[in-house]
Amino acid sequence: MRVGYLTNQYPASSHTFIRREIRALEDSGVHVERYTIRRSTGRLVDPEDFEELERTHCILSGGAAHCFWALARETLRQPLAMARAIRLSQTMATRSSKGRIVHLAYLAEACILQQWLREHRIEHLHAHFGTNSTTVAMFCRLLGGPPFSFTVHGPDEFDRPEALSLGDKIAAAEFVAAISQFGRSQVLRWCPPDAWEKAKIVRCGINAEFRAMEPSPVPDTRQFIWVGRLASPKGLPILLEACRFLAAAGETFKVVLAGDGPLREFMARKIDELGLHEHMELAGWLGDAEIRDLIEQSRAMLVPSFAEGLPVVVMESLARGRPVIATRIAGIPELVVDGENGWIIPPGNVEALAEAMRTALATTPATLSKMGAAGRAAALEAHDVRKSAAQLRELFSRSIDASKT
């Protein structure tokens, strides 16, 4: 079985779950070719990401001229199919803020990818995220490429379904993988009931090292950890205010922020303005091993987000036996149970976040370890990457068999 994986940016520090999925598929005997539209703009830190970089074909590496000639070549090769693809691209452009030229660029990217798919004898193409990567996969199919599927993560696909032509993509795909029950419900909103069978739940898998190593007891520390992209949907200004509130109340604590993004300068400035240097640290992007160590050194994971799918850091923290303080949004309550393996709070509520952090600080390490053990059992049961890979392999196989009949 020869499968292609397509992502907008790969490898990336925030996309390690894709790497795990690919490698689990390869361990099961599937040949996987990696494709990315562009190289990641973020800094890579994990050695395994550097390995993936060497194995990944980048569509835009040849520049604009390469795209133009690929579009011209495919037009000469199959003018009728190209005419249909151009019409679809322009229809999609009318719903999107990206415009007609950008959608023609997506079509040109599909022409480059289409040539590679033929050369690599790819039987099925799978895209991650229902955004431009899936647009390119759909255009490939229209040009005679292999059947395709895609994974929706949220929140982008759920915030802009019409602008992303999500309904058209679902209709054209063999199946759509959602990482949570909530995600699947959002897919169902954009397809007719007789197509609901297309929507499958394929959960993100936990790193094998997180699974294999028994967690240590929660230490008698007053440290929290936050992991992710420094961006507005992550609720970071709420976390700043909660930390300011706790510091003013005389609480001793520290929050390590592992990640980077557009809000880094804002966060650095606010930490300085609010005098929170003793309480908050900007650690930048870290590798898997460093993240694992920080989780084990912490009392709990913080996820004060406004919009998510189901963050991998939630399942990883639970897998390492650490409770999670998270907002009641999207797929998070499917894994975090209030009072059992963490605390669930309303999004955007400074007081609730501060109170949950205060409660975690006041809870004994023994009780936190008991909560962490309950979370680990739930996370390992639901997020086994080997099970997810086996599920995907079966879905790919059905798609390939159907295309041959």
Q: Is the pLDDT of residue 193 over 90?
A: yes
- In angstroms, the Cα distances linking 294 to 124, 204, 225, 290, 299 are 38, 21, 7, 6, 10
| Per-chain mean pLDDT for the chain | 95
Position 41 scores a pLDDT of 80
Mean per-residue pLDDT, 171-197: 97
Q: Which residue has better confidence, 280 or 66?
A: 280
Where does CATH 3.40.50.2000 sit in the chain? Answer: 2-205+384-404, 208-382
Superfamily of domain 2-205+384-404: Glycogen Phosphorylase B; (3.40.50.2000)
Position 163 scores a pLDDT of 96
pLDDT band at 129 (very low <50, low <70, confident <90, very high): very high
Of 45-49, 137-141, 279-283, the poorest mean pLDDT is in 45-49
Q: Is the pLDDT of residue 327 over 90?
A: yes
Position 287 scores a pLDDT of 85
Level-2 CATH architecture, domain 208-382:
3-Layer(aba) Sandwich (3.40)
What proportion of the chain, given as a percentage, has pLDDT over 90? 90
The three-point CA angle 300-270-233 to 5° equals: 60
- The model's pLDDT over 245-261, given as tens digits with 9 standing for 90+, comes to 999 999 999 999 999 99
- In angstroms, the Cα distances linking 108 to 51, 271, 327 are 28, 45, 41
Rounded to two decimals, what is the model's pTM?
0.92
Mean per-residue pLDDT, 23-47: 93
CA–CA separation, 378 vs 371, rounded Å?
11
- The model's pLDDT over 346-393, given as tens digits with 9 standing for 90+, comes to 999 999 999 999 999 999 999 999 999 999 999 999 999 999 999 999
Mean per-residue pLDDT, 76-83: 94
Mean per-residue pLDDT, 305-324: 94
Mean per-residue pLDDT, 100-104: 94
pLDDT band at 318 (very low <50, low <70, confident <90, very high): very high
Category of 398 on φ-ψ map: left (φ > 0), alpha (ψ -120 to 50) or beta: alpha
What proportion of the chain, given as a percentage, has pLDDT over 70? 100
Residue 300: beta bridge partners? 224
| Peptide bond between residue 347 and the one before it cis (omega within 30 degrees of 0) | no
Q: Is the pLDDT of residue 196 over 80?
A: yes
